[in-house]
Structure 1
């Protein structure tokens, strides 16, 4: 392997830069916030998918995490992490891998939102352990999860409780409603409303005589501003807060200075005849996420260059113009480096095989994320 460049300016582009000082600050703040509320923080690993990031988010314990893929679960289990939730509804074809994870971990949990998943677990019992499961609720995200105010909530909780090879632990939800908001005040109200919904579900299940040990809620916007009512939860599971991004900043989850990731790109072409310059970073370096949101700054924000706007991307090309007037190509010399704050850091980081960790202008290391599913 080639030696690590000393300075950011020496790096090949495009590449993902991670400001370690901001990352540590973001993690410490979230850990302290939920310590003060008396609520367990179970961070989601999907944003970074690295051992180093997991260490920081769990305050060095390597305990209580959520993952979005079984590849992540295996990666973290192989590296000493434990008490892991696989954060999507499980299906029967995944159970052979899940059994191995149960053998490797003292605690490995699954999620379900339908009867068939419980029947599949019943058909595939483990020798010495019960499958431990969370019922996923849909409280407005319109993704996976059983409808929170429907009759099936109690029916599914009862089914999981009555199957001998299954242990029902509690309820879990992630709502994407907060991502449509544009102020920290609105997000705080949403956090209160989401908390009321999941606590109402908990009460309904308990009134049916079914114990609910864990009540988990989480998305980075709500967890970043938090309402005092969230102290009634047992755990939260945000993930994006380790990096944040321009989307989170526009929501009110963070300040711009909290964004810990940038994509470094270089100017490779001048096109004054069509009023643009071209960068070496296309959608495989930045992702298309947010492209159709009609944001005033587009899907990316350029450091120190508020006049620039990313107007189009192909796989390896990023076409950039100015927000008004004619672009002065001489202000952006060929081979010069520009820094782009992404709209969605999770989707952007997922495109990169390595992250360059820096403090100030100095490159101090690399993180390598797990890939695949």
Structure 2
């Protein structure tokens, strides 16, 4: 929703989530260019931003071919003219009714499963309109979260069941290769993407040996899609999500540069605890999340813009504690009311804390975006 007139960034309420529209658009173009170079269809994942406006930018204005993590997102996009939506979350029986509604509402709605239980849930719940379920099988390459292990015979068994069912169409394979977050530097990330691609091609070949055609192989993680190996041109789809904002974690592993981070939290100094060398800010864990604290980084997981000697060292629900890396806080430099800007360690988690994004170009707030919440 556009504001009536631009306001200054320094006048936003705090805490607030700021989105640099120029950086976001640059991130979108860069990913689109990578996919064009490799000959791959980009299927942006909306889980990070959950907004109509950002999805439109990531799709290049085409309003089609996206992945979502919740049915609330799918409802939002289907209500606003988006088509070809993948519900990139393993299907369970309790979600079938809503999935059927979406399937019958738009031209292409895809579901995903990783077990025979998921298959049986679809089998006993036909779409009712003669259009078969479009089904991806999720593959666990090395991340060990959801997905069928790439070495398991269950992949062939599931694909055979789906392909042999008149009420279903086997769309292909989906893989979130989240193991790439364990690699540091662009070359290591490329190698991880190459290894994942090689594994997926082996799975595809196994299916072909059983006369099962795998039309689409989709892989997504922001690191591997930000630094793709040329071999990834063997894939049909990319499905990254975090790249819309990037964050300090992505910067630390080499997915992006500091200048690519499009999201920040604006906060203000509300108190000074001189005796304990602490500034108190109005940004607690409900404004930035605790993601990253478990890593015990020496300068804290977050970066305070233009203040390399400040670090966020503790949070309660609505308050944060800021101190120095070295020496004493210059309290005269940070009087009560001073605004600080914090780059999030994990932008997906931080963005999820905010009902409104203040979208700016330079120092001017140009619009307010309202993400969908819930499931």
Shorter-chain TM-score range: over 0.9
Q: Does the 8 A contact of 1:5 with 1:11 survive in 2?
A: no
1:274 corresponds, among 263, 273, 276, to 276
Q: Give the whole-Å Cα distance in 2 for the aligned partners of 1:203 and 1:294.
A: 43
1:225 maps to 227
State the match for 2:134 in structure 1. 132
* In 1: Cα distance, 2:62 partner to 2:297 partner: 39
Q: Render the CA deviation track for 1:280-339: whole Å, top value 9, x for unaligned.
A: 010110011111112233121010000011101111011111012222222211011000
Distance in 2 (alpha carbons) for counterparts of 1:272 and 1:203: 66
Determine whether 1:204 maps to 2:241.
Answer: no
Q: Match for residue 184 of structure 2?
A: 182
What residue in structure 1 maps to residue 291 of structure 2?
289
1:242-253 maps to which residues of 2 (within 5 A)? Answer: 242-253=244-255
C-alpha distance in structure 1 between counterparts of 2:230 and 2:342, whole Å: 35
Residue number in structure 2 paired with 1:120: 121
Tell me what 1:157 maps to: 159
Hey, what does 1:18 align to over in structure 2? 19
When normalised by structure 2's length, the TM-score is 0.97
Aligned to 1:316: 318
C-alpha separation in 2, matches of 1:256 and 1:272: 31
Work out the CA distance in 1 between the residues paired with 2:300 and 2:148. Answer: 35
Unaligned 5+ runs, structure 2: none
Q: Distance in 1 between matches of 2:302 and 2:248?
A: 7
CA contact (8 A) 2:104 2:127 kept: no
Alignment of structure 1 residues 1-373 onto 2, 5 Å: 6-127=7-128, 128-373=130-375
The 3-state SS of whatever aligns with 1:194 is: helix
TM-score (norm 1): 0.98
Q: Is the 8 A contact 1:277 1:320 kept in 2?
A: yes
**Per-residue deviation at 1:122?**
1.1
Q: d(CA) in 1 for partners of 2:329 and 2:183? A: 33
Structure 1 residue 178, shift from structure 2 partner? 1.1
**Shift >6 Å, 4+ stretches:** none
How many corresponding residue pairs?
Answer: 373
Distance 1:335-1:3 versus aligned 2 partners, 3 A rule: farther
SS, match of residue 7 in structure 2: coil
Give the superposed CA RMSD: 1.2
Whether contact under 8 Å (2:141, 2:199) holds in the other structure is yes
The answer for unaligned runs of 5 or more in structure 1 is none
Whole-Å Cα distance in 2 between the matches of residues 251 and 152 of structure 1?
34
Following superposition, the deviation at residue 245 of structure 1 comes to 0.5
